[in-house]
Amino acid sequence: MTDATASPDKVTGPTPDNAIRDAERESGPMLAADGTPLKKSLARAQRRQKMRALGLVAPLLIFILITFIIPIGQMLFRSVENQIVPDTLPRTVEAVESWDASSGEPPSQEVYSAMARDLVVAEGLKIHTRVGSRLNYEAAGLSSLFRQAGRDVDETGEPFLDAFEESNEAWEEGSTWVSLLTTEEYQSEIAEWQARSDEVGRSFDEPAVDVAYREGFEEALPRTTDMFSDFAYVIGSEDGESPLEEEPWPLVYLSLYEDLEANPEAIELFEGEQRALVEEAMAATEGMGPYDYRAFFEEIDEEWLEPDIWETLQVFSGPYTSGYFLSAADRELTPDGVERVPENERIYGTLFLRTMYMSLAITFSCILLGYPVAWLLANLPLRTANVLMILVLLPFWTSLLVRTSAWKVLLQNQGVINDLLVWLNIVGDGNRLALINNQTGTIVAMTHILLPFMILPLYSVMKTIPPSYLRAAKSLGATNWTAFWRVYFPQSVPGIGAGSILVFILAIGYYITPEIVGGEDGVFISNRIAYHISTSLNWGLAAALGSILLALVLALYWLYDRIVGIDNVKLGG
Amino acid sequence: MSDVVDNPANAMKQDRSLLSFAVPLTALLGAILGFVGGQAVNQPLAGFIGGAIVGGAIAYVAGTVLADQRTTGRWAAVGVCAVIGLIAGGIAGIVSGILAGAVLGWVGYWLASGDYRRGVPPYSTSGQVLWHNTFLFICGLIFFFLIAPIMVIIPLSFNAENFFTFTPEMLSLDPEGYSLKHYRDFFNNSDWQLAMRNSLIIAPFATLIAVSLGTLAAIGLSQSDIPGRQAIMAILISPMIVPLIISATGMFFFYSALGNWLEANLGFSQELSGYIKVILAHGALGVPFVIITVTATLVGFDKSLTRASANLGAGPVRTFFKVQMPLILPGVISGGLFAFITSFDEVVVVLFVGAAAQKTLPWQMFIGLREQISPTILAVATILVCISIALLTTVELLRRRSEKMRGMSPG
């Protein structure tokens, strides 16, 4: 007995009683069971709870960020990215920068020389067609020009190669070049690499050794070393060959000639036999230069002399471009600034406008058809309403493709509706109605597909409007119409707003249905995006169009959030 | 309700209103139907007059002789019209005659017995009654618009011919006009079977990802003071808001890089990495549906239950599985069904992300619809409609059960 009464004070650990008594004894901060101030303890508990909640959300958040948000961000990035031009044509981009486009003259020999070098490397890596198709989006015809140039460009400087080799047969050997330019260390390394490559054969994929030049060579012979490095890289990565066994590109010979012409003292770098070899070659090429790069390109195709091509290159030389967005807005970038494209090429403005007004038409027909049905459902007894609700929910749950195919079956020329009309002699067999592959088809089918998305939000709003309001209005003398228009309708506006935005957002991004029933003039902007992804392969433009559409949808979504709130999105009633 | 017929004092008035109201109206309807039917056999005028006579007669009979025997009266109307149809238009005429007879019989009784006034207060003016019934008629048409396109493909899928429309044999209910050959084609064609198998592989895995991660996240989100709740919610819902074509475009770039990485670094086969890509993409698309349904269920969840369970000594895991899970299960299942149907129906993303080896049912249907279409599509569509009916029923039952459990709904 005594033990029991005395126990709270005898217990050594803290108990709730202790805390209370502590709190009563001194008017200090209220303490939790373990003696810490209650505030701190509460804060700790709440923090722990927060962390736990975050921990529960984190896996999904990370999943969505990786599988969804990053891809979208990447798409946005791709719509401005233009790395391929400066990456593939680094020398040209640099050289063409100083060219004055307004002069109306083709650029200098230096620019053509840079282009020849870039193209030889790109051709070796088989990427010259890619940059060609990239630039083709901006100026039609460049793709074939690049492809053609790629075939012939490795002959640039051929006369010099011939002259070098005539002076001494040693120039035919790749090994001559290697021993002429590179360090001994590199020579042994590349020899080993070559041996391994020969052993493995075709599937050899070890990266080639970077060329290391002898002391002072890179400064004295900049073009030669630059070209030779690229040559070694290309044959190493593409063919698994080393420069030891391959005859270099003619451009390498030409570069050596040009370097020695520009800097005659560089010959001091060579010694003994090698010096004799080089001097011999220089004697053989005496008076041959300077090489006419422009004439060489003219021979490939006269179009290379057109300033337009170089203008395009100059405008689209940066790593980022607004070009795709401008194309998406029917504009183009020229050296004189942004200009509208010619009238007959303005397709995206029309397409965006059409997407907008067709989505509006669909939204409007959804309101027109959805409002009466939602009203009926909201005002019928629950049991009947639930049965009728199934008629709304069944289309909602039915596959989009099923509904689209149903409309194709109904609307097509030999379809059910036309057959019925012909059978009833309302239209002749010869002039069946064109209900599909035009805007009518798209609007009818999409109204049907999106109607449940209008009815459901309308229904949930109307459900909350007490029917007694209408009765009260009528008993106060309002006519049926006044009672509806002045009392009921204003209260149902939030439902119309929610449903309209939902339908509009969904309609504006539709792809499948317009593709199947839309024909030529019933397609949306999304069909164009899909076309650029899968057919024209102009991914940058597809990304730009997608980004514009996304911005539009996000703005509408923000509006939806303001009106309805994201949390109030309801599915299936 | 005011049942005028049973009131003997009104008998005379009733007779007059029958002759001045129900008979002419039904006759008008009959005339219209007759005109349309007559048009088909190039006799619109004869159809018009005949229809008016038949319609008027039906209404008169419905109001007098057979007033109390509705069933008999309606069958009689159907029979009479079917015979007229047979005489006028052969076998196709019978079908239209039966339809017209059913409509006329129903309308005749509806007008003659005064049923058309049901649903409006007895004091309503005739204008109000007219408006009420017109409104119901319009709603009926809209419901017809909603449901008819889906229903029309079901009989067409049994077409014996490779047509997309009703053949004369089908209309005359000739068994020769119907066959299961499109269904056989579906089950024997390797393309369709591959598509079906892919759909059944991809959708469950995508659902599994969406449901497991989505349920946990919804529970986390429902806890009161989670920081940045709005932002997190916006991110998680975004796959549903962003138009599919944009998601598909973004995913196209990202997932082809992911696929290359999987193949190069983890040594996955091209097929396996293809499935992984599509499953991940579909999982992301299904997440918002799970979040929304589970969050909605959690709104009605009594938090003191978890506290009680903790008080009784259960750990968080045990509390989750024994207390919370059973209560939110209906929401989880319907969220899962939404996620499943999203993946099962999805075509844009799979077109962009997947390769031919991942061709799903909607993809195969899309190809079929875009190129020359075979009625096998209609057989597949019918099967899919049956699946959606099953899913809809499940979701509705679950919703009602959950509402009942939370005492939110009376029935």
Question: B93-102, pLDDT tens digit by residue?
Answer: 787 888 888 8
User: What does the alpha-carbon distance between residue B373 and residue B360 come to, in Å, rounded to a whole number?
Assistant: 17
Q: What is the rounded CA–CA span in Å between residue A468 and residue A462?
A: 13
* A280 shares a domain with A210: yes
Q: What is the pTM of this model?
A: 0.79
Predicted pLDDT of residue A23:
57
- Residue B334: what pLDDT? 83
Is A63–B213 a contact, with Cβ atoms under 8 angstroms apart?
yes
Q: Catalogue the E-assigned strands of A251-346.
A: 331-334, 337-340
* Inside any domain, residue A324: no
| A524 within a domain of the structure (yes/no) | yes
DSSP A267: G
pLDDT at A158 over 70: yes
Strand partners, A337: A334
Same domain, A528 and A563: yes
Q: Is B231 exposed, middle or buried (0-12, 13-18, 19+ CB in 10 A)?
A: exposed
Q: What are phi and psi of A165, to 5 degrees?
A: -70, -30
pLDDT, tens digit (0-9, with 9 covering 90-100), for B49-83: 888 888 888 888 888 877 778 888 888 888 888 88
Q: Residues A443-451: what's their mean pLDDT? A: 93
Give counts: helices (H), strands (E), chain A. 30, 2
- Same domain, yes or no: A362 and A445: yes
Residue A93 contacts residue A317 (beta carbons within 8 Å): yes
Q: What is the mean pLDDT of chain A?
A: 83
Does residue A333 lie in a domain region?
no
Q: What is the pLDDT of residue A565?
A: 66
Residue B276's pLDDT is what? 92
> pLDDT grade, residue B141 (50/70/90)?
very high
Question: What is the structure's pLDDT at B2?
Answer: 43
Q: Do B246 and A60 touch (CB under 8 A)?
A: no
The structural domain count of chain A equals 4
Asked if A440 and A476 sit in the same domain, the reply is yes
Residues of B in contact with A399 (CB under 8 A): 341, 344-345, 362, 381, 384-385, 388
Q: Closest approach of chain A CAs to the CA of B109, in angstroms?
A: 22
* B171 lies within 8 A of chain A by CB: no
In a domain, A558, yes or no: yes
Cβ neighbours, 10 Å, residue B201: 15
Pick the residue from chain A with its C-alpha nearest to B252.
A71
A523, part of any domain: yes
Residues of A with Cβ-Cβ distance to B230 under 8 angstroms = 566
A73 & A108 share domain: no
For every residue of chain B, which 3-state class applies, written as one string? Answer: CCCCCCCHHHHHHHHHHHHHHHHHHHHHHHHHHHHHHHHHCCCHHHHHHHHHHHHHHHHHHHHCCCCCCHHHHHHHHHHHHHHHHHHHHHHHHHHHHHHHHHHHHHHHHHHHCCHHHCCCCCCCCHHHHHHHHHHHHHHHHHHHHHHHHHHHHHHHCCECCCCCCCCHHHHCCCHHHECCHHHHHHHHCHHHHHHHHHHHHHHHHHHHHHHHHHHHHHHHHHCCCCCCHHHHHHHHHHHHHCCHHHHHHHHHHHHHHHHHHHHHHCCCCHHHHHHHHHHHHHHHHHHHHHHHHHHHHHHCCCCHHHHHHHHCCCCHHHHHHHHHHHHHHHHHHHHHHHHHHHHHHCCHHHHHHCCHHHCCHHHHHHHHHHCCCCCHHHHHHHHHHHHHHHHHHHHHHHHHHHHHHCCCCCC
Domains of chain B: 8-118 (no CATH), 189-373 (1.10.3720.10)
Q: Which of A22, A55, A78 is the last residue of a domain?
A: A78
pLDDT at A371: 94
State whether B283 and A67 contact (CB < 8 Å): yes
Asked if pLDDT for residue A96 goes beyond 80, the answer is yes
pLDDT digits (tens, 9 = 90+) for B202-249: 999 999 999 999 999 998 888 767 778 888 888 898 888 888 888 998
B133, B249, B252, B262: best mutation site toward chain A, by most A Cβ within 10 Å?
A: B249
Per-residue pLDDT, A564: 66
Count other C-beta atoms under 10 Å from residue B408's C-beta. Answer: 10
Q: Is residue B3 over pLDDT 60?
A: no
Which residues of chain B make contact with A424, given a CB cutoff of 8 A? 36, 39-40
Domain identity same for A192 and A279: yes
Q: What are phi and psi of A18, to 5 degrees?
A: -55, -45
User: Within a domain: residue A518?
Assistant: yes
Quick one: average pLDDT of B96-114?
84
3-class secondary structure, A331: strand
Task: Report which of residues A363 and B39 the model is more confident about.
Answer: A363
pLDDT at A358: 92
Same domain, residue pair A513 and A372? yes
Both A15 and A134 in one domain: the answer is no
Residue A299 lies in a domain: yes
Provide CB contacts within 8 A for A556, sequence distance 6+: A501, A504, A505, A508
Cis bond before residue A243 (omega within 30° of 0)? no
Same domain, A300 and A263: no
- The answer to whether residues A285 and A160 touch, using CB atoms and an 8 Å cutoff, is yes
Give the CA diameter of chain B. 94
Query: Is there a contact between A309 and A145 (Cβ–Cβ < 8 Å)?
Result: yes
Question: Residue B253 is nearest to which of A49, A71, A392, comparing CB atoms?
Answer: A71
Q: How confident is the model at residue A568 (pLDDT cuts 50, 70, 90)?
A: low
Instruction: Answer yes or no: is A60 within a domain.
Output: yes
Contact B250 A394 (CB under 8 A): no
pLDDT at A303: 82
Both A226 and A276 in one domain: the answer is: yes
pLDDT for A11 beyond 80: no
pLDDT for the residue numbered A89: 87
Average pLDDT over residues A152-178: 82
Q: Does the beta carbon of B315 lie under 8 angstroms from any beta carbon of chain A? A: no
B411 CB neighbours in chain A (<8 A) are 382-383, 386
* CB spacing of B243 vs A567 below 8 angstroms: no
Secondary structure in 3-state letters for A488-534: HHHHHHHHHHHHHHHHHHHHHCCCHHHHHHCCCCCCCHHHHHHHHHH
Listed ranges A303-307, B156-160, B272-276, B366-370; the one with the highest mean pLDDT: B272-276
Rounded mean pLDDT of B148-165? Answer: 84
State whether A553 and B242 contact (CB < 8 Å).
Answer: yes
- Rounded Cα distance between B71 and B59, Å, is 14
Query: With contacts defined as CB-CB under 8 Å, which chain A residues touch B252?
Result: 533
Containing domain of residue A463, as a range?
350-568
User: What share of chain A has pLDDT > 90, as a percent?
Assistant: 12
Q: Which residue has the higher pLDDT, A28 or B271?
A: B271
Bridge partner residues of A182 (DSSP): A213
Question: Considering A54, A78, A102, which residue would you say is the last residue of a domain?
Answer: A78
Domain boundary among A284, A302, A331: A284
Residues A393 and A453 in one domain: yes
Whether residues A254 and A376 share a domain: the answer is no
Q: What was the pLDDT predicted at A361?
A: 95
Mean local confidence (pLDDT), A510-536: 86
**Mean pLDDT across B107-130:** 80
* Beta carbons of A416 and B143 less than 8 Å apart: no
Give me B283's structure tokens.
């999982």
Q: Band the pLDDT of A494: cuts 50, 70, 90.
A: confident
pLDDT value, residue A369:
95
Question: Is the pLDDT confidence value at A3 over 50?
Answer: no
Model ipTM value: 0.83
